[in-house]
Amino acid sequence: MIKRGTISPRQVFFILTMLLTGIYILILPRHMVFLTGTDGWLVLIGGGFVSGVILILINKVSIKFPGKTVIEFAPLVVGRLLGKIIGGILAIYFTLLAAGSLRIFTEMLKSALLAETPRWIVVVGLVGLIIWIIQNGLEDIARFTELLAPIILLLLIGALIGDIRYMEVIRLKPILKTEPISLLEGFISTLSYFGVIIILLMLYPYVNAPEKLTKTSLGALLFAIVITVAVFAGTVATFGIYETGRMAWPVIELVKMVRIGEFLERMESLFLAVWLSIAFINVSVLSFCSISGWTQLINIKNYQKLTYPVMFLLLGMSLWPKDLLAVLGLYRINFTYGLFISLAIPLLLFVFTLFSKGGSENGHR
């Protein structure tokens, strides 16, 4: 059984921030320019605001059931059958997120350092490391995230500041010229992108001061919105929407352009080194939530019994797409699925808790 109350709100802040800006931010500018052109930054702000409302609902529901994850308290709120269905949907969602993140992590590692290494060897090695850190528990994952997150965020901010001389505001125009249907599609994608905050429903019982999580999680979301908007705007202002759309990893190309005098170049090497560590942590967190979700869903006391079966499943799922384009296609499908998850489930649970009596008491029973 995983020990509860072992991580701090500060560590949750960094975990959420890294989940929202860690792996997928490398391809976010490319994805958004395909959907919304130069209006991507406006869509990100709008989607972030709605995600903030959803995050408040998540906190209001979770605080009523101290010591329980959503898999455990959902049957108490909506009934056993519907609660199990919700738990199953969330377990599948976390599994898909973990598999997609693992594959993107693998693609970046191969292109940056291991170009000649067969993909399956890279994935198997990563899965072995993830199994090791998950077996050590969530506390070690949280500590590692807390250590590395400030570094990667400073590097991102430094890259944007270092590339200001190449940016031209005119590349961000025109504004609000995108077709309404494309803006709506971009807004839906943004909600799904930020919808990973639903992972807080799984982390709540492991936090030693859950009463602080509302402010902490909202702060993490706000910080992530600022970072993602800045990265999108900075990338488009530097390369334009057409070049950004043709790049596999636009943010890496942005970092490559940073030069500090004549003594500090090749900043992408440092950025990649730290980013790969953060990506590893993100996949570990998502894998932990996937394993915990399945463990609680089928009422197994020791999550370690399911670690190997679930990780082997993730290994197979991550190797299934043929190339990066196929991965990005699945990424877009997951966005649609994630929209239902991030909007419907928190809203449904919140409405039911309004009519249930003694939520906090039920949480203790």
Instruction: Quick: pLDDT tens for 151-199.
Output: 877 877 777 787 788 888 888 888 888 888 888 888 888 888 888 889 9
Name the band, by pLDDT with cuts 50, 70 and 90, for residue 365: very low
Cβ atoms of 130 and 143 closer than 8 Å = no
Task: Give pLDDT, residue 281.
Answer: 83
Task: Give pLDDT, residue 294.
Answer: 92
pLDDT tens column, 314-355 = 888 888 877 666 666 666 666 667 777 888 899 999 999 887
Average pLDDT over residues 261-270: 61
Residue 208 has pLDDT above 80, yes or no: yes
Task: Give pLDDT, residue 349.
Answer: 92
Q: Which domains does the chain have, with CATH numbers?
A: 9-348 (1.20.1740.10)
Task: Give pLDDT, residue 21.
Answer: 82
Share above pLDDT 90 across residues of the chain, in percent, rounded to a whole number: 20
Average pLDDT over residues 55-68: 91
pTM of the model: 0.84
